[in-house]
Amino acid sequence: MEVLKFGGSSVGSSKRIHQVVDILDRYSKHGKVVCVVSAVGGITDKLLKAGQLALEKNESFAAEFDDIKKIHLSLVSELIPKDNDYILEYLEEELSYLKNLLDGIYLINELTPKTSDKLTSFGELMSSFIITEVAKQRGIDAVRKNSQELIVTNSSFTKAEVNYLITNKNIKDYFRTAHQLTVLPGFVAKSNLGEITTLGRGGSDFTASILAAALKVKRLEIWTDVSGMYTANPKLVKQATPIEVLSYQEAMELSHFGAKVLFPPTVQPALDSEIPILIKNTLKPEDKGTLIKTHSTSTSGSVSGITSVDNIALLTLQGNGMVGIPGFSKRLFEVLALEKINVIFITQASSEHSICFGISESDADLAVTSVNQCFEYEISTHRIRPVDVEKNLSIVALVGDRMKNHQGISGKMFSALGKNNVNVRAIAQGASEKNISAVILQNDVKKALNALHETFFEVKTKQLNVFITGVGNVGHRLISQIEQQRKFLKNELRINLRVMGISNSKNMYFDEEGIDLGNWKDHLERGETSSLDGFLEKATQLNKRNSIFVDITASEAVSQMYADYLKRSISVVACNKIACSSEFQNYKTLKNLSKKYNASFLFETNVGAGLPIIDTLGNLVASGDKVTSIQAVLSGSLNFVFNNFNGSTKFHDVVKEAQKEGFTEPDPRIDLSGVDVARKILILARESGYDMNLEDIENDSFLTKANLESDTVDDFFETLIEDEAHFQKLFSSAEANNSQLKYVAEFNDGKAKVGLKEIPQGHPFYNLEGKDNIVMFYSHRYPEQPIIVKGAGAGADVTASGLFADIIRVSNK
Ligand code: ADP
Ligand code: ASP
Ligand code: MG
């Protein structure tokens, strides 16, 4: 047998009632089901309001009644549109009792707790009837049983106490022969004198718990409109998450302090019989929910949840007359108990000069009068002052069984509140240390809950906002790498990487929430016309922390925008080499702007694509080492050319093939002339701390005068054919010396040069294959055995991954 309870939020509309019946249908196929339902959402409040209006002789009670009537009748016409006469008849009859009752209250000007219970009982009686009929219509073997015939209480109206002896027997007897589905109204009961009673606000949970305990079921399920008990009220704290497992104690503390998913006494019958309670979401039945049981086995954080309760009044009694006099608090709490005032919170400083207690605001006036009366003599003799009362307060509390084993929790709590300007009026921590509470202004509750939630539950995720210009081959790869890694970055590195802007030479597109990377091409195609300034403006205007501009072009104009980005504290990541190999002054200015505006300027891919060359160099310099010499092969294209050129191939053909395969720039002269390599060694020299310009680099070209002076690419290829003999000579000389031709960049003591070299066997460059790059750094710490970085130094994928690494480096700063 299963016991399920559906709260008012689950039966608030015809759609939701259908969802409830879906769940009941599913459960009743596997066994007998006991279903407790609340009144339709908001109805109990409306009934009480109508009663209050009638009591105040305010005729608008009739309008409130009409509203209640309309809500129920239209639910029936939506849920069971046909053949519903008998249902409407039943409801009309109940509603006319209700109307008579309200008229009576109006007439005699009286609303006792006893009448109030009669009044509120209508909500659950009507909702349980409607739901039963819907279940029957859906073919379920269903019956409604009025819980007033089972649950027997004393006559403490509005919060009656259960006589378990009789109640349990009634329940066991009744359910000996049960229908497949029994629907019962929650909240309502009857006294042993036959008067209608209720179990207190939120009491349907209690009804369900009583049934579950009496029937000794394996588990009690409470179905509501949230996916369990959350780390904080999800309506106030957006970041709150459901707690998987809680102990009864923790659940009790949380629900006592306002987490109204669960009505506090609910836990008691379940706790006594050790029946676990599962909180589930009617709207999302597939969600796991929260399991409440004897011991929470959860080992995560020491704080399980944060909760709050509003409408608190803080009363303070103070005076010298209190000091050292035993029995003072006894008198105080006795008088409060006598008036049935529930004390939620007590603090007394060890000086005993004052005692401070929190109660519900609605009890405040009564408390003040009765306490002042009780201490009339002491007040008149000025030994104590009349009670001080402060209203519009709330309590926020941290709850957790494991808090007692952890130091510093209250320190953290109060420093979080302090930092957010939340003024704490009073503090209490029970000796059990399952709860630390603070009284604050009601106005501050939302802020306080969010600040505490951030402190105790949220792992800080760093947001990186990327703006990409240039979406050619490398750009494509970068975007797909980002798309692929996003989850990993989020889960493992706590980095939330969003691409917020993309542009090419035609269009640009932005999305503040992060561009859908599965669809970026379509978005870009339909984007606005791009401009370099427009892109900068938009990135500036979005004004996000950790913005990064990524340049994947080879455009000089784009490189001239870096300064503007850096000045707006937007980091720059570039594979474009132009800026770093331009005039020294420009390079230096960018470096300084990066420092001044605390924005990274990273260009690892300028040398050796994704290889960590500049990073290695940077680490050497940062740790105080001095680079004295650099030997390197830095051109994947020239490597390809000289690895494939031999006695049996023609130089022209090899260059042509390299061009065709995309290993050279479209104009292969940029590679073959050595300019590209010269730029790279220049950047390495600068990063080593040397003030150099491109003109300072000796470029000993292996090309002929005719090659260098050719006007067009085609002419250039012509001259390669004409000068084949020249290239063959270079090859045969190397061969004769047992050497390989490699295009080498060198830096020694402030001087740099690039050029073709014969590399003898045994040299680290000799066996360099394919498009590989190699760099050897000699330094004060590495004078003989250099640091060597070697690996694929060209290609869209490795370049994209180098850019990606730079983007991540920004987040580490
Ligand atoms: P029902 O009508 O199902 O009895 P309630 O409105 O009584 O539902 O309780 C569910 C509501 O409790 C949620 O919608 C939520 O606003 C509120 N609530 C307060 N604190 C918490 C919390 N810590 N976790 C989950 N819900 C909470
Ligand atoms: N309908 C009652 C209330 O609103 C009982 C309940 O919903 O649990 O308090
Ligand atoms: Mg409830």
Measured in whole angstroms, the distance separating CA 270 from the mean position of its chain's CA atoms is 33
With a 6 Å cutoff on the Cβ, whether 568 touches ligand 2 is: no
Instruction: Tell me which of 98-102, 110-114, 470-474, 490-494 is least confident.
Output: 490-494
**Sorting pLDDT into bands at 50, 70 and 90, what band is 63?**
very high
Identify the CA nearest to 159 among candidates 184, 192, 187, 123: 187
Q: Give, for 499, the enclosing helix (H) or strand (E).
A: strand 495-503
Tell which atom from ligand 2 comes closest to the C-alpha of 206: 8
**How far is it, in rounded angstroms, from Cα 573 to Cα 600?**
8
Q: Does the annotation count 680 as an active-site position?
A: yes
Cβ atoms of 424 and 414 within 8 Å: the answer is yes
DSSP strand pairing (739-748 vs 751-760)? antiparallel
**How far is it, in rounded angstroms, from Cα 455 to Cα 449?**
10
**Could you tell me which residues come within 8 angstroms of residue 109 by beta carbon, excluding any fewer than 6 positions away?**
55, 57
The count of residues in the chain is: 813
Model pLDDT, residue 351: 65
Q: Whose CA is nearest to atom 5 of ligand 2?
A: 202
Mutating to test ligand 1, I would choose from 199, 224, 230 the residue with most ligand atoms within 8 A of its C-beta, which is: 224
With a 6 Å cutoff on the Cβ, whether 38 touches ligand 2 is: yes
65-74: pLDDT as tens digits:
999 999 999 9
Instruction: Tell me which of 165-179, 368-382, 426-440 is least confident.
Output: 426-440
Instruction: Tell me which of 138-142, 196-200, 269-273 is least confident.
Output: 269-273
Q: 761-795 burial string, b = 16+ CB within 10 Å, else e? A: eeeebeebeebbbbbbbbbeebeeebbebbebbbb
Q: Which two tokens stand for residue 178?
A: 């049960």
Measured in whole angstroms, the distance separating CA 180 from the mean position of its chain's CA atoms is 42
Cβ atoms of 772 and 639 within 8 Å: the answer is yes
Model pLDDT, residue 771: 81
Mean pLDDT across the chain, nearest whole number? 92
pLDDT above 70 for 264: yes
Mutating to test ligand 1, I would choose from 20, 246, 260, 263 the residue with most ligand atoms within 8 A of its C-beta, which is: 260
Q: Quick one: three-class SS letters along 369-388?
A: HHHHHHCHHHHHCCCCCCCE
13-25: pLDDT as tens digits:
999 999 999 999 9
Ligand nearest to the CA of 125: 2
Q: Whose CA is nearest to atom 1 of ligand 1?
A: 7
**How far is it, in rounded angstroms, from Cα 575 to Cα 567?**
20
Helices and strands counted in the chain (H then E): 30, 30
Q: Give, for 677, the enclosing helix (H) or strand (E).
A: helix 675-687
pLDDT above 80 for 294: yes
Q: Which two tokens stand for residue 587?
A: 């390079």
Handedness of CA 777, 781, 784, 790 (dihedral sign): negative
pLDDT above 60 for 431: no
CA of 125 from ligand 2 middle (Å) equals: 12
Measured in whole angstroms, the distance separating CA 467 from the mean position of its chain's CA atoms is 23
Instruction: Tell me which of 451-465, 712-726, 786-800 is least confident.
Output: 451-465
Tell which atom from ligand 2 comes closest to the C-alpha of 207: 8
CA of 171 from ligand 1 middle (Å) equals: 28
Pocket of ligand 1 (CB under 6 A): 7-10, 38, 202, 224-226, 229-230, 232-235, 254, 259-261, 305, 307
Ligand nearest to the CA of 36: 2
For residue 247, which amino acid is it? S
**Sorting pLDDT into bands at 50, 70 and 90, what band is 352?**
low
Tell which atom from ligand 1 comes closest to the C-alpha of 230: 24
With a 6 Å cutoff on the Cβ, whether 47 touches ligand 2 is: no
**How far is it, in rounded angstroms, from Cα 776 to Cα 275?**
70
Identify the CA nearest to 510 among candidates 468, 448, 552, 560: 468
**Sorting pLDDT into bands at 50, 70 and 90, what band is 289?**
very high
Measured in whole angstroms, the distance separating CA 757 from the mean position of its chain's CA atoms is 57
pLDDT above 90 for 53: yes
622-655: pLDDT as tens digits:
999 999 999 999 998 899 899 999 889 999 999 9
Model pLDDT, residue 493: 87
Instruction: Tell me which of 412-421, 536-545, 709-718, 767-776 is least confident.
Output: 412-421
| Cα Rg, the chain, nearest whole Å | 40
**Could you tell me which residues come within 8 angstroms of residue 135 by beta carbon, excluding any fewer than 6 positions away?**
21, 24, 25, 142, 181, 183
Cβ atoms of 377 and 321 within 8 Å: the answer is no
138-197: pLDDT as tens digits:
999 999 999 999 999 999 999 999 999 999 999 999 999 889 999 999 999 999 999 999
For residue 82, report the phi and psi dihedrals to the nearest 5 degrees: -115, 155
**Sorting pLDDT into bands at 50, 70 and 90, what band is 302?**
confident
Q: Whose CA is nearest to atom 4 of ligand 1?
A: 7
Q: Which two tokens stand for residue 86?
A: 């008998």
CA of 560 from ligand 3 middle (Å) equals: 63
**Residue 492: CB atoms within 10 Å:** 9
Model pLDDT, residue 430: 65
Instruction: Tell me which of 326-330, 434-438, 510-514 is least confident.
Output: 326-330
pLDDT above 70 for 338: yes
Instruction: Tell me how many degrees the CA angle 628-632-634 measures, rounded to the nearest 5.
Output: 135
Identify the CA nearest to 110 among candidates 64, 63, 44, 54: 54
Q: Tell me the CA distances in angstroms from 813 to 462, 534, 598, 657, one per residue in order.
A: 11, 28, 9, 43
Residue reference for tokens 């629907």: 183
Q: What is the DSSP letter of 764?
A: T
Cβ atoms of 192 and 163 within 8 Å: the answer is yes
Q: Tell me the CA distances in angstroms from 554 to 328, 478, 577, 789, one per residue in order.
A: 84, 16, 7, 25
Q: Give, for 44, the enclosing helix (H) or strand (E).
A: helix 43-55
Q: Which two tokens stand for residue 462?
A: 């760093």
Identify the CA nearest to 412 among candidates 303, 513, 330, 500: 303
CA of 69 from ligand 3 middle (Å) equals: 22
Q: Which two tokens stand for residue 2?
A: 């299963």
Tell which atom from ligand 1 comes closest to the C-alpha of 229: 24
Ligand nearest to the CA of 280: 1
Q: Which two tokens stand for residue 737?
A: 């010396």
Q: Tell me the CA distances in angstroms from 330 to 149, 343, 355, 791, one per residue in order.
A: 41, 13, 12, 82
pLDDT above 90 for 573: yes
More confident residue, 270 or 145: 145
Mutating to test ligand 2, I would choose from 6, 201, 210 the residue with most ligand atoms within 8 A of its C-beta, which is: 201
Q: Tell me the CA distances in angstroms from 648 to 645, 653, 732, one per residue in order.
A: 8, 11, 11
Tell which atom from ligand 2 comes closest to the C-alpha of 203: 8
Model pLDDT, residue 459: 74
Cβ atoms of 619 and 696 within 8 Å: the answer is no
Q: Exposed, middle or buried, 13 (CB in 10 Å: 0-12/13-18/19+)?
A: middle
DSSP strand pairing (290-293 vs 277-281)? antiparallel
Tell which atom from ligand 2 comes closest to the C-alpha of 38: 7
Q: How many CA atoms lie within 13 A of 564 on its CB side?
A: 14
Ligand nearest to the CA of 261: 1
With a 6 Å cutoff on the Cβ, whether 44 touches ligand 2 is: yes
For residue 573, report the phi and psi dihedrals to the nearest 5 degrees: -120, 125
**How far is it, in rounded angstroms, from Cα 600 to Cα 550?**
11
Q: What is the dihedral of CA 805, 810, 812, 813, to 10 degrees?
A: 140
Model pLDDT, residue 770: 82
**Could you tell me which residues come within 8 angstroms of residue 325 by beta carbon, excluding any fewer than 6 positions away?**
none
Could you tell me the pTM of the whole model? Answer: 0.61
pLDDT above 90 for 130: yes
Tell which atom from ligand 1 comes closest to the C-alpha of 224: 3
Instruction: Tell me how many degrees the CA angle 366-371-373 measures, rounded to the nearest 5.
Output: 100
CA of 206 from ligand 3 middle (Å) equals: 10
CA of 41 from ligand 3 middle (Å) equals: 10
Name the packing angle between helices 43-55 and 113-137 (round to 10°). 150
Q: What is the DSSP letter of 162?
A: B
Selected catalytic residue, list 118, 190, 680, 757? 680
**How far is it, in rounded angstroms, from Cα 803 to Cα 796?**
11
Average pLDDT value for residue range 751-756 = 96
Q: Give, for 418, the enclosing helix (H) or strand (E).
A: helix 409-419
Identify the CA nearest to 411 among candidates 353, 459, 452, 365: 452
**How far is it, in rounded angstroms, from Cα 402 to Cα 302?**
5
Average pLDDT value for residue range 395-422 = 85
CA of 258 from ligand 3 middle (Å) equals: 11
Cβ atoms of 451 and 485 within 8 Å: the answer is no
Ranked by mean pLDDT, which of 335-349, 427-441, 680-694 comes out on top? Answer: 680-694
CA of 521 from ligand 1 middle (Å) equals: 44
Average pLDDT value for residue range 110-116 = 96
Cβ atoms of 158 and 198 within 8 Å: the answer is yes
For residue 484, which amino acid is it? Q
Identify the CA nearest to 120 among candidates 7, 191, 43: 43
Mutating to test ligand 2, I would choose from 71, 204, 211 the residue with most ligand atoms within 8 A of its C-beta, which is: 204
pLDDT above 60 for 299: no
Identify the CA nearest to 671 among candidates 801, 554, 765: 554
**How far is it, in rounded angstroms, from Cα 753 to Cα 274?**
82
Cβ atoms of 671 and 665 within 8 Å: the answer is yes
For residue 163, report the phi and psi dihedrals to the nearest 5 degrees: -90, 100
